[in-house]
Amino acid sequence: DQQVKQNSPSLSVQEGRISILNCDYTNSMFDYFLWYKKYPAEGPTFLISISSIKDKNEDGRFTVFLNKSAKHLSLHIVPSQPGDSAVYFCAASRRGGGNKLTFGTGTQLKVEL
Amino acid sequence: EAGVAQSPRYKIIEKRQSVAFWCNPISGHATLYWYQQILGQGPKLLIQFQNNGVVDDSQLPKDRFSAERLKGVDSTLKIQPAKLEDSAVYLCASSLLRLTPGQPYEQYFGPGTRLTVT
């Protein structure tokens, strides 16, 4: 049972344009959502997060939007840079879950010159 | 600040052999996690320790996988005997102890150990 889904395995964007990565979840008990970025041969690194009591969180070029009614969140990167090329994982946790994260399958972002 | 250390980085073994992975978390991080990431999938939590106690091992295949964190610092994950489907990257992560409910603490990941079972 895949509780966190990233339906686009890959995304290609031109440098300077906006990248939008999407994530859907099924478990209504999730109350915190995170995005991790992963380069080849490295572990995932934390990028940005959002609590379920908010609908938007912004950090520099990165913004995460949460639509609770649709059980959907998205990560916007603007402007996209070549160094953003990586795999992006969406993850979720729930209150009382002991900090356990449930990850999606990831989206490979390629930012082209 | 030193990050999460893992060794070895790569391991190739034959099925039915045993293998062990080592993880040293960030100093002061009470919580340690082992994840399995199969190619094309997201990381899946195998076991979570808080200090030297197990918090969650519900997804650990206990007939062949074992893990310990005896002194509440570094940890080892063992597979015995290995199967072909164990081929994956094994990630270790650590975080601070969560003192307030609701907000998860950021997990810091090591580089992982890529295991190939032939």
pLDDT digits 0-9 by tens, A76-91: 999 999 999 999 999 9
Share of chain A above pLDDT 90, in %: 88
Count of CB atoms situated within 10 Å of the CB of B93 = 27
A34-71 tens-digit pLDDT: 999 999 989 999 999 999 999 999 999 999 999 999 99
**Which pLDDT score is estimated for A23?**
98
pLDDT lower than 70: segments of chain B: 1, 98-104
When scoring A29, A100, A105 by the number of chain B Cβ atoms within 10 A, the one with the most, hence best to mutate, is A100
- Phi, psi for residue B106 in degrees, rounded to 5: -65, 135
Chain B residues whose C-beta sits inside 8 Å of any chain A C-beta: 4, 31, 40-45, 48, 50, 55-56, 91, 93, 95, 98, 101-112
Of the candidates B40, B41, B48, the beta carbon closest to that of A100 is on B48
Question: What whole-number distance in Å separates Cα of residue A72 and Cα of residue A70?
Answer: 5
pLDDT at A110 over 70: yes
A81 CA to chain B: closest CA distance, Å? 23
Question: Taking CB atoms and an 8 Å limit, are B102 and A93 in contact across chains?
Answer: no
Contacts of A95 in chain B (CB under 8 A): 101-102
Mean per-residue pLDDT over chain B, rounded: 92
Which token pair is A2? Answer: 């895949």
What tokens appear for A55 in the block?
Answer: 């609908």
Q: Is the pLDDT at A94 greater than 70, yes or no?
A: yes
How confident is the model at residue B102, as a pLDDT? 58
A93 vs B contacts (CB less than 8 Å): 104
Tell me which residue in B40, B56, B109 faces A98 most closely, judged by beta carbons: B56
Is residue B81 reached through a cis peptide bond, with omega within 30 degrees of 0 on the bond before it? yes
pLDDT of residue B98: 64
- Beta pairing partners, B22: B7, B76
How buried is residue B30: exposed, middle or buried, by Cβ count under 10 Å (0-12/13-18/19+)?
middle
CB-based contact B20:B76 (threshold 8 Å): yes
Asked whether the beta carbons of residue B45 and residue A96 sit closer than 8 angstroms, the reply is: no
Q: What is the DSSP string of chain B?
A: ----EEE-SEEEE-TT--EEEEEE--TT--EEEEEEE-TTS--EEEEEEETTEEEE-TTS-TTTEEEE-TTSS-EEEEESS--GGG-EEEEEEEEPPP-SSSSPPPPEE---EEEEE-
pLDDT of residue B1: 65
Minimal CA separation from A68 to chain B, in Å: 16
**Based on the number of CB atoms within 10 Å of its own CB, is B96 exposed (0-12), middle (13-18) or buried (19 or more)?**
middle
Rg (CA), chain B: 14
The residue ranking higher by pLDDT, B99 or A72, is A72
Partners of residue A96 in chain B, C-beta under 8 Å: 101
Cis preceding-peptide flag for B8 (omega within 30 of 0): yes
